Amino acid sequence: MNIRCIAIDDEPMALEKLKSYIQKIPYMELVAACDSPADAIQIMSDTAVDAVFVDINMPDMNGLDFVKVLPEMPLVVFTTAYSEYAVESYRVRAVDYLLKPYTFEEFQRAADYVQQQWLAKQKAPVAPADLDNVFLKVDYRYIRVSLKDIVFIEGMNEYLKIHLVSGDPYLVHTSFKQINNHLPENFLQVHRSYVVNVNHICEVERSVILLKGGKRISVSDSNKDMFMAYLKNRSLSR
């Protein structure tokens, strides 16, 4: 059985390179080559895919946001010309990270990592559990908060305000960049000042989110494509 793969890159030459490299790996099967995440999402809604090789820097939706909106996480290898994305790529549990221009030997090493994890999943197909709780440092105390009780997080300069299902919000001296390390995939950044727990969304109308408790948050233009793709992937209607 081969590993079913999709290649995604908006640059034609880079996409051709990805295609040719995947086709050289004997244990991999190229399902599709896409020049946009939107095309890949459409294909993956109808076709089983084991691994994705995806560029990070793309218009409309970048590779990191693309991975976050997928209902099921495949094995992911990111490609990019910018090394500063390396840390963030591993936050979304990427298998590997290829810095352009990469050689076939570097690609083959990443493919081998994919194969190792794919084989491990066949033997024990149990997804790692997300952490259920986080500790928030409030003044001189560390307070344990259940992630499922967080409705949304609001950015306020050098602080974040953590809004819960009940009780007063907590004001924490931290940033979205730092706290994102501890948040599971059901938390989406929909605005530069807001991260929402999608499990607490009641409805979405014209890019305005209504959360449990009555809070309304507008999705920013820069996050709209990512958020709408997330909704579409989980919608019963097309």
For 170-211, the three-class secondary structure string (H helix, E strand, C coil) is EEECCCHHHHHHHCCCCEEEEECCEEEEHHHEEEEECCEEEE
For residues 27 and 58, state if they share a domain. yes
Would you say residue 190 lies in a domain?
yes
For residues 32 and 51, state if they share a domain. yes
| Residue 204: band (very low, low, confident or very high) from pLDDT cuts 50, 70, 90 | very high
Question: Which pairing describes strands 150-156 and 194-197: parallel, antiparallel, or unpaired?
Answer: antiparallel
Residue 109 has pLDDT above 90, yes or no: yes
Residue 9 CA to residue 17 CA, distance in Å, equals 10
What does the pLDDT look like over 213-236, one tens digit per residue?
A: 899 999 998 888 888 878 877 777
For residues 54 and 86, state if they share a domain. yes
For residues 7 and 119, state if they share a domain. yes
For residues 178 and 223, state if they share a domain. yes
- Provide the residue range defining the domain that includes 31: 3-123
For residues 89 and 138, state if they share a domain. no
Domains of the chain: total: 2
Residue 131 has pLDDT above 80, yes or no: no
Least confident interval from 131-135, 150-154, 204-208? 131-135
Identify residue 4 by its one-letter amino acid code.
R
Would you say residue 238 lies in a domain?
no
- CATH number assigned to the domain comprising residue 42: 3.40.50.2300
**pLDDT, the chain, mean:** 87
Would you say residue 73 lies in a domain?
yes
Would you say residue 113 lies in a domain?
yes
What does the pLDDT look like over 141-185, one tens digit per residue?
A: 889 999 999 999 999 988 999 999 998 999 999 888 778 767 888
- What is the pTM assigned to this prediction? 0.57
| Residue 237: band (very low, low, confident or very high) from pLDDT cuts 50, 70, 90 | low
Residue 43 has pLDDT above 50, yes or no: yes
Higher pLDDT, 60 or 39: 39
Edge-to-edge strand ranges of the sheet holding 96-99: 28-34, 3-8, 51-55, 75-80, 96-99
For residues 155 and 208, state if they share a domain. yes
Would you say residue 55 lies in a domain?
yes
Q: What is the mean pLDDT of residues 112-121?
A: 87
DSSP string, 115-164: HHHHHHHHH---PPPPPSEEEEEETTEEEEEEGGGEEEEEEETTEEEEEE
Least confident interval from 99-103, 131-135, 200-204? 131-135
Show which of 123, 147, 167 is a domain's final residue. Answer: 123
Residues in the chain, how many?
238
pLDDT value of position 127: 44
% of the chain beyond a pLDDT of 70: 91
CA distances from 138 to 98, 148, 172 (A): 39, 19, 6
pLDDT value of position 129: 47
Q: Are 94 and 78 in contact (CB under 8 A)?
A: yes
pLDDT value of position 130: 47
Question: Which pairing describes strands 75-80 and 51-55: parallel, antiparallel, or unpaired?
Answer: parallel
% of the chain beyond a pLDDT of 90: 49
Q: Quick one: the chain helix, strand, coil %, rounded to 5?
A: 35, 30, 35
For residues 107 and 181, state if they share a domain. no
For residues 92 and 202, state if they share a domain. no
- CATH number assigned to the domain comprising residue 203: 2.40.50.1020
Would you say residue 226 lies in a domain?
yes
Which residue's structure tokens are 């990469």? 102
